[in-house]
Amino acid sequence: MIPIKLQIQHIHKAFKNHVTALEDISFSISQGEFVSVIGPSGAGKTTLFRLLNGTEDCTKGQILIDDHPMENIRRQQKRQFKKNMSTIYQDFCLVENSSCLENVLTATLPDMSFFPAVLGLYGTARTEKALQLLTRVGLAEKEQEPVKNLSGGQKQRTAIARALMRQPSLLLADEPIASLDPVTGRQILSLLKDIQQKDGVTVLMNSHNLELSMEFSHRLIGLNNGRIVFDGSPDEINDSVIRTIYGNSSVCSLNKNRKDVGL
């Protein structure tokens, strides 16, 4: 496990169609933290994660990894950094035609040399491990099923198993439990918490389940309309914070306010 220090400095992201998804975001995460990003739909959470894992480039600002700006890092090191990071995508990003097991195994490709990697010769050790992980997320029997035949939650769990297969130092989890029932969801979060505590993995999560986010994280970052509006521990969350994060007209779900909302 190589510890990673992540600093985000004043990043902006505007898409080609002039939608500004993120504006002046700065925060830093130290190794071993469990941080949750929360915010309304369209706030820019997924975009933030995609910037962090390098799928998109930011328009302004910079991301520092162990104090080096990401764009200046030499290729070899960047690869190393990427190897230590894995992402659970909101839309899963699985290979639909491949089986569950194959998808999980692809996570070991970065550690393999070229030809075995191309030919997909994973070896028994890796396969064993992938099967174990699949069992842990409750997909042991779907091992050989092509991903396109899985239910929403099963796909999500495959994506989770793939991310964990990497044994990352930094785990970016974009809505990892959105499609899971409360019990499985809780189990998955416990699993994440577990690896965070035991192995010191940094977890940056993003979830619409406020309760679970508060329960499992050390720290919450509130995003609204592309800006950080809150950054603090779960204890600091209160009605007015919720209102700043989710918008003014919002009804605090903490209070379980059951009266109808004028939409």
Partner 1 sequence: MTRSSKNRWKGLACFLLFLCLFLFTVVYTQCDPVLFWKRRSHLTDLLSGMFPMDFAYIPHILTPLFYTIQMSVTGTVIGSVLACILAPACAGSMDFPKWIRYVLRFLIQILRSFPALILALCATFLFGLGTFAGTFAITLYTFAIMTRLTYQDMEAASPLAYQALRTMGVSRFPAYIHGLFPEIAPSFFTNALYMLETNVRHSSILGYVGAGGIGLLLNEKISWLEYEKVGAILLVLFLAVFTIENLSRYLAALIRKECTLKKKYIKLLLFFLTALFVVCTITLSPPDFGRTSLQTMKNMFSGFLSPDWSFFFSTKKDGLFTLILETLCIAFAGTVIGTVFSIPLSFVNTRRFVPGSVAFIFNLLIIAIRSIPFLIYGLIFIRVSGPGPFTGVLTLSMCSIGLLTKRFTEALDAIDLKAYRALLAMGVHPVPAICHGILPQLKPIFISIFLYRFDVNIREASVLGLVGAGGIGAPLIFSMNQYAWEKAGAILLGLILLVWLIDMISVKINHIL
Ligand X SMILES: Nc1ncnc2c1ncn2[C@@H]1O[C@H](COP(=O)(O)OP(=O)(O)OP(=O)(O)O)[C@@H](O)[C@H]1O
Which residues make up the interface to ligand X (CB under 6 A)? Answer: 15, 17, 19, 21, 39, 41-47, 90, 142, 149-154, 179
Q: Contact between 93 and partner 1 (CB under 8 A)?
A: yes
Angstrom distance (rounded) from CA 207 to CA 222: 11
Q: Judge whether 92 and 155 are in contact, CB under 8 Å.
A: yes
Query: How far is it, in rounded angstroms, from Cα 91 to Cα 116?
Result: 29
CA 100 to CA 133: how far, in whole Å? Answer: 11
Binding partner at 125 among partner 1, its own copies, Mg ion, none, C-beta below 5 to 8 Å by kind: none
CB 150 within 8 A of CB 102: no
φ, ψ of residue 100 to 5 degrees: the values are: -50, -50
Closer residue to partner 1 in complex, CB, 13/166 = 166
Q: How many residues does the chain have?
A: 263
Among candidate residues 165, 107, 83, 99, the one with its CA nearest the CA of residue 132: 165
Q: Residue numbers of the site for Mg ion (CB under 5 A)?
A: 46, 90, 151-152
* Interacting residues toward partner 1 by CB under 8 A: 17, 53-55, 79-87, 89, 91-99, 101-102, 106-107, 109-110, 112, 114, 117-120, 127, 131, 143-144, 146, 148-149, 166
Q: Which residues sit at the interface with its own copies, rule CB under 8 A?
A: 15, 17, 19, 38-42, 46-47, 90-91, 136, 138, 145, 149-154, 156-157, 175, 178-187, 190-191, 193-194, 208-211, 215, 246-247, 250-251, 253, 256, 258, 260-261, 263
